[in-house]
């Protein structure tokens, strides 16, 4: 895949998402399903790598760029990731004045609900790839419960899950 196509696909994903992982369904569709540039496993790895480090949730897009085209792909992905921020400045100024308008509020709510549905639809195939046995099911259930019912930062949850996975691999090599 050439760098311009990579940039445009990731830019599309960045422009059409409202949160860092909101671009996941678009990226999965473009890179895993349509072009087979990466696998679900590689996408899972990119999400974990992007989420495990500091920075925005969308940083996993840089990992995808790297997997598709090496360092030039990572640079292209980074540029696609930051482009919407520069485009959003005038939009935020325009929306800021109109944010109390009921139609604008309803449109934003509708977009967020639609984005949540797309994120859920993209998460199911990724979960199928990541869940490999009883331990991974237990980690998933406990993680969901902790995130849903506590205020624990997700970074601690990821670190704990990594330690559990490492301990399990040492016990059962």
Contact 17, 58 (CB under 8 A): yes
The mean of the pLDDT values for the chain is 87
pLDDT at residue 3 tops 90: yes
What mean pLDDT do residues 78-95 have? 83
pLDDT at 87: 81
pLDDT at residue 4 tops 90: yes
Both tokens of 35, joined, read: 């072009």
Q: Which pTM does this prediction carry?
A: 0.64
Contact 93, 26 (CB under 8 A): no
Contacts of 152 (CB under 8 A, 6+ apart): 146
Q: Where do the domains of the chain lie?
A: 3-129, 131-173
Phi-psi region of 101 (alpha: psi -120 to 50; beta: other; left: phi over 0): beta
90-146 pLDDT, tens digit per residue, is 877 777 777 778 888 888 788 778 878 877 887 888 888 888 889 999 999 999 999
pLDDT at 104: 81
Q: Which residue has the higher pLDDT, 54 or 170?
A: 170
pLDDT at residue 17 tops 80: no
Distance of alpha carbon 29 from its chain centroid, rounded?
Answer: 13
């Amino acid at each position: 895949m050439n760098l311009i196509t990579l940039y445009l696909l990731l830019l599309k994903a960045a422009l059409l998402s409202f949160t860092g992982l909101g671009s996941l369904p678009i990226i999965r569709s473009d890179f895993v399903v349509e072009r087979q540039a990466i696998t679900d496993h590689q996408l899972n790895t990119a999400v974990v790598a992007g989420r495990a480090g500091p920075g925005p949730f969308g940083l996993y897009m840089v990992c995808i760029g790297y997997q598709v085209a090496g360092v030039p792909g990572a640079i292209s992905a980074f540029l696609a990731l930051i482009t919407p921020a520069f485009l959003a400045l005038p939009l935020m100024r325009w929306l800021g004045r109109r944010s109390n308008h009921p139609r604008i509020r309803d449109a934003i709510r509708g977009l967020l609900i639609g984005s949540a549905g797309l994120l859920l639809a993209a998460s199911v195939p990724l979960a199928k790839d990541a869940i490999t046995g009883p331990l991974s099911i237990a980690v998933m259930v406990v993680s969901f419960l902790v995130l849903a019912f506590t205020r624990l930062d997700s970074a601690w949850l990821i670190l704990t899950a990594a330690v559990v996975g490492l301990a399990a691999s040492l016990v059962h090599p």
